[in-house]
Each structure stands twice: as structure tokens, then as C-alpha cells.
């Protein structure tokens, strides 16, 4: 199973489609744990997220497999647990076909780290050490005074609104048109960046998810975005 480029290979939902027992095992663990907690009188709603979907048929098949497993687990457990199935939007094709994918998803979580990689064609692990930081700091060109900046900011730290951001906006709008109850969020480093959070608020996302140490900054940025938007609307 070794691959030349595993970043674009057999991972995410693709691995689960070829080896369904992996997805079923994880779903079983999540829902059995949820049943144990439910017996203690606590209310919860597990959200099972299917990653790296690029075509609606991938999500349809994985969800079919997992719905069957979920019904078996909850019926055997003797109590009901309200669960949801959703997907990561981390490929340009998924963003472009969000209206189709939304018909079989309860929620979207935009994986903006991977969406940035696949939109720019950058490998984050390689690009930052080889050329990306020089793109941001500026290149020295013969005959030109000063440095030539290729990018204004590192797109893995602050969301590229003009490119990646437009995919997020399009997917959010088209997804909600196809499924008005669709919940929208993002996860990744951008979830703790104030400028990115402002954009996510503007396009109507419901939440951001970020590293624990970034949570205070994210909460403050979300509050500021809400206040700023409110002032603009007046």
C-alpha cells in the first residue's frame, strides 16, 4: 500500500471504501461510548465526519455502510442516540459540487488546511521550508530595488479570501440552498486566525474549530466579527 504521493492517494473516505471495517470500527466505538454516556442521563449528539470526499457517490456509499452499522449498534444498546453524519470539504471538487454533497450530509466542516494545499497545489510540509516563506518575505530580483513579494501572507496561516475563500463561500451558499438545515463550520489553523474568522462569519458559517491554545483568540475574534458586521448592517 506504499504510495509515491500519499497526500493525494489512499486516505480519508477512499481507505474506508476499500476497507469498510475501518469506518465501521470507528463508528461502533463512537456510538457505543455515546450509549454509555446516555445511560448516565447525559444528552449528547455525536457527529461523525467522513473525510476527503470528492464525489457525492463516495459519501453516499460510506454513509450507507455506517447508517446500517449505527442502527445495529443503537438497537442492540437498547436506547436511542441522536447522531449526525457529515463530511469534510477539503477538495476543490467537493466545494464546486457542494449542492450535490449537501443532499446526503447533515453538516460540512471545511478542512481549510487541505483545501489550501489542493487549491494552490502546495505541499505545506515542503513549501514552507523551500519557497513559501520567501514568497511572503519577498524575492531579490536583479535590477530591482527592494524585494518582490509574491504573496501578501502565508495562506496556511491566514485564509486566501480571493481563491480558497471563494470556494468556501460557494460551497456554503450552494450547500445551504440544497439543504437548508446544513450546519457549517471549519477546522484547521485558520480557525484561530482573526482575519480568517471575520471572513467565516461574513459567509455565514456556524462555528470554527482550532487548537486549544487558540480558543481565547478565536472567541474574541468571533465576537469582534459579530459586532463589526452588526455595525455595518445599521
* Close Cβ partners of 182 (under 8 Å, ≥ 6 residues apart): 102, 105, 106, 107, 108, 175, 176
Q: What are the residue boundaries of the structural domains of the chain, listed by start?
A: 89-233
Q: What is the pLDDT of residue 74?
A: 79
- The better pLDDT of the pair 62, 74 is held by 62
- Average pLDDT of span 22-43: 90
Q: Which fold does the domain 89-233 belong to in CATH? A: TIM Barrel (3.20.20)
Percent of the chain's residues with pLDDT above 70: 97
Q: What is the pLDDT of residues 72-119, one digit of tens each?
A: 887 776 667 889 999 999 999 999 999 999 999 999 999 999 999 999
Amino acid at each position: 500500500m506504499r504510495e509515491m504521493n500519499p497526500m493525494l492517494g489512499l486516505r480519508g473516505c477512499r481507505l474506508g471504501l476499500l476497507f469498510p471495517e475501518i469506518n465501521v470500527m470507528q463508528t461502533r466505538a463512537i456510538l457505543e461510548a455515546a450509549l454509555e454516556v446516555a445511560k448516565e442521563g447525559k444528552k449528547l449528539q455525536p457527529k461523525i465526519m467522513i473525510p476527503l470526499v470528492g464525489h457525492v457517490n463516495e459519501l453516499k456509499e460510506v454513509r450507507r455502510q455506517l447508517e446500517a452499522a449505527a442502527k445495529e449498534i443503537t438497537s442492540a444498546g437498547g436506547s436511542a442516540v441522536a447522531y449526525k453524519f457529515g463530511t469534510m470539504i477539503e477538495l476543490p471538487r467537493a466545494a464546486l459540487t457542494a449542492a450535490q454533497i449537501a443532499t446526503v450530509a447533515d453538516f460540512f466542516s471545511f478542512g481549510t488546511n487541505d483545501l489550501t494545499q489542493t487549491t494552490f497545489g502546495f505541499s505545506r510540509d515542503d513549501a514552507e521550508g523551500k519557497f513559501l516563506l520567501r514568497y511572503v518575505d519577498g524575492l531579490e530580483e536583479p535590477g530591482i530595488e527592494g524585494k518582490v513579494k509574491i504573496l501578501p501572507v502565508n495562506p496556511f496561516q491566514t485564509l486566501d479570501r480571493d481563491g480558497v475563500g471563494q470556494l468556501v463561500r460557494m460551497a456554503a451558499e450552494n450547500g445551504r440552498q440544497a439543504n437548508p438545515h446544513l450546519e457549517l463550520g471549519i477546522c484547521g489553523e485558520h480557525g484561530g486566525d482573526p482575519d480568517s474568522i471575520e471572513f467565516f462569519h461574513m459567509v455565514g458559517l456556524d462555528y470554527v474549530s482550532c487548537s486549544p491554545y487558540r480558543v481565547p483568540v478565536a472567541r474574541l475574534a468571533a465576537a469582534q466579527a459579530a459586532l463589526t458586521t452588526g455595525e455595518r448592517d445599521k
